């Protein structure tokens, strides 16, 4: 089982072909570079924990697939009880491998092209973010709002300003300042 402590040493031993794309080398490189920030950043901690959890799940799944493959290949399931030999029986029977007959391969046919339906809707123009905030604020007229609704509105507005999605040079900058 892989943990945060042994991740950096155990991961290079794992075959990349066994892992899904989300757990392959690029993601591991990100985790390896930022593992020292594990205790400082909650988002990174969640990411690393999820990465380790999914990695362990993928490895368990591959172990189960290999066990089933061995069971079909040798005709016997490998269990500790089956592997033990008693003193009375010095020889153990080994099942002969099954010979599988190959079925003839059918040639692949090309998939039929999909019919494209013509667009029946009308195009909708997207309003600028400033206008969306102004419309939302105007919709409050005559309605009672809770503290949390006002707080989330202000928080969204401040975030948009901080991310510079709303600028001072905007047409609606004075209205946003009024809000």
Chosen domain end from 51, 83, 115: 83
CA atoms within 13 A on the CB side of 134: 15
Both 67 and 135 in a single domain?
no
Residues in Cβ contact with 126 at an 8 Å cutoff, skipping those fewer than 6 apart? none
For 36-65, what is each residue's pLDDT tens digit? Answer: 777 887 887 888 888 788 878 877 777 765
Which pLDDT value is given to residue 155? Answer: 92
Both 18 and 76 in a single domain?
yes
Ranges of the chain with pLDDT below 50: 77-78, 81-89
Q: Domain of 151? A: 129-178
Number of domains the chain contains: 2
- Give the other-Cβ count within 10 Å of 74's Cβ: 14
Please report the DSSP string for 142-156 in residue order. T----HHHHHHHHHH
């Amino acid at each position: 089982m892989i943990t945060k402590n042994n991740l950096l040493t155990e991961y290079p031993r794992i075959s990349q072909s066994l892992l899904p794309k989300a757990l392959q080398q690029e993601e591991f490189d990100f985790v390896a570079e930022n593992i020292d920030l594990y205790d400082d950043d909650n988002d990174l901690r969640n990411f690393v924990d999820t990465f380790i959890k999914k990695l362990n799940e993928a490895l368990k799944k591959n172990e189960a697939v290999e066990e089933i493959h061995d069971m079909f290949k040798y005709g016997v399931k490998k269990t500790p009880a089956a592997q033990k030999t008693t003193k009375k029986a010095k020889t153990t029977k080994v099942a002969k491998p099954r010979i599988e007959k190959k079925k003839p391969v059918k040639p692949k046919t090309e998939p039929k092209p999909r019919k494209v339906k013509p667009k029946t809707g009308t195009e909708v123009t997207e309003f600028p973010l400033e206008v969306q905030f102004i419309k939302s604020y105007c919709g409050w007229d005559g309605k009672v709002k809770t503290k949390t609704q006002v707080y989330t509105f202000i928080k969204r507005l401040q975030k948009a300003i901080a991310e510079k999605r709303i600028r001072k040079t905007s047409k609606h900058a004075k209205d946003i300042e009024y809000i």
